[in-house]
Amino acid sequence: MFEKLSDRAEKAFSPFTGIHIEGNRELVAEDCRRIEECDEVLMQFISGHLRVQVWGSGLRAYDYKTGGLVIRGRIERIELAERRRQHNEKEASGKH
């Protein structure tokens, strides 16, 4: 029922996120914090300390309420970019 303290600490401080790819038809991202762009050609979201862009066609987002994100469609390209440290510190302190 309650998440272990060590699991919560790992999620809070780990710069890595779990991203699983099934062929070119499905991507599952753990710890999706925010979807920034969502259309049939581009899905952009924040997961852990990464900004992830998924390019393709017929893309659709599923299961966002579970804390993760499932993207289905024809995936052509995936781009990962580490978010700036200053932005992360502001977000953690609640300042924008």
At 49 the pLDDT is 86
- In this prediction the pTM is 0.70
Residues 6+ apart with CB under 8 A from 80: 50, 51, 52
56-84 tens-digit pLDDT: 999 999 987 777 899 999 999 999 999 87
Give every strand in the sheet of 26-29, ordered side by side.
Answer: 19-22, 26-29, 69-82, 50-62, 42-47, 32-38
5-62 tens-digit pLDDT: 555 555 555 555 689 999 999 999 988 888 999 999 999 999 888 899 999 999 999 9
Q: Domain extents for the chain?
A: 7-93
Q: Please give the backbone phi and psi of residue 5, each rounded to the nearest 5 degrees, phi first.
A: -60, -40
Element (H, E) at 23: none
At 48 the pLDDT is 84
At 84 the pLDDT is 75
Give the separation between CA 41 and CA 37, rounded to whole angstroms.
10
Fold of 7-93: Immunoglobulin-like (2.60.40)
Give the separation between CA 73 and CA 93, rounded to whole angstroms.
36
Tell which wins on pLDDT, 76 or 88.
76
